[in-house]
Structure 1
């Protein structure tokens, strides 16, 4: 047998919904106070801060006056680099040449570049083959240094 109701459905009311809320964050904790300073009669070596020393003065430029007789025993001019010749590049290279007591070149460096690597290299290569009349001091032949400009002109 079937029961027939009065036509009303029984409704149960759901419980009220509750919202879950996170608790508020705790207030920030202030940083701990440092220990009070301790008075020390004399500072320790690690406590003393020494300022950096001032920079040293620039080294004096070497004296490159002609300490060798600038006359040459043998000075063939450098070969003009073909690429520079085709491009019409000109310039002057100033070389510093160290000469031994026999007049042989011992070192060549560029003091002032022509701003073209090929011209600088050609001047240095030629200068390594040159020979100079060595300087003399007290009747003795001595090594020296000479400044030689090398011009590349068309």
Structure 2
């Protein structure tokens, strides 16, 4: 038994050094696994290329109308048979409805005034924000833009918030209400 133990220790001492076949086998296994991983990560089919469609404009040529025929020859000397009464005067144009521009409905503005921010009021900040308000044909607000700032972001924000709640008198052209844009100054000042 002691002898077997001694033989085993000698074998282990011999195998403790570098084993080139073992190194080659482990390297091959690692390379094989890396190649398999890369194959799994590669797409099966390449991604479709984005093809830009050309803008095609269809052009149709329209033939111009034929030139007018020569007018018939008319003699300027009136004959006794040609004496006629003067032509009737044209009818008067219909009375036009005056064009009315857009404006803020005063009652709506009074019911929904802008809120003076407390911090700005406490610090004594005043200013005027000029808004451009897009309105529809019924007087509702479509969009509100700040044309000229008051110099304070909070005052501008409150002016826009209030203008979104206002109602407007829409613009009237030829007797019809139309959508339009109106410039509205909103003033923040102490009374």
What's the TM-score once normalised by structure 2's chain length?
A: 0.44
Count of residues in correspondence between the two structures? 89
Q: CA deviation at 1:139?
A: 1.0
2:154 match: secondary structure: helix
Q: Does residue 177 of structure 2 align to residue 134 of structure 1?
A: no
State the alpha-carbon separation in 2 of the partners of residues 125 and 90 from structure 1: 17
Q: Does residue 164 of structure 2 align to residue 112 of structure 1?
A: no
Aligned to 2:26: none
Deviation readout 1:112-137 (Å, 9 max, x if unpaired): 00110000000000000000111111
Q: Does residue 89 of structure 2 align to residue 89 of structure 1?
A: no
Q: What residue ranges of structure 1 are gaps of 5+ in the alignment? A: 1-65
| More contact order relative to length (CA 8 Å, sep ≥ 6) | 1
Aligned to 1:68: 102
Could you list the structure 1 runs, at least 4 aligned residues long, displaced by more than 3 angstroms after superposition: 69-73
Higher strand share: 1
Contact 1:81 1:118 in 2 (8 A): yes
Higher helix share: 2
Contact 2:139 2:169 in 1 (8 A): yes
What's the TM-score once normalised by structure 1's chain length?
A: 0.55
Q: CA deviation at 1:69?
A: 3.3
TM-align CA RMSD: 1.5
Q: What residue ranges of structure 2 are gaps of 5+ in the alignment? A: 1-99
Contact 1:73 1:132 in 2 (8 A): no
2:162 match: secondary structure: helix
State the alpha-carbon separation in 1 of the partners of residues 107 and 138 from structure 2: 11
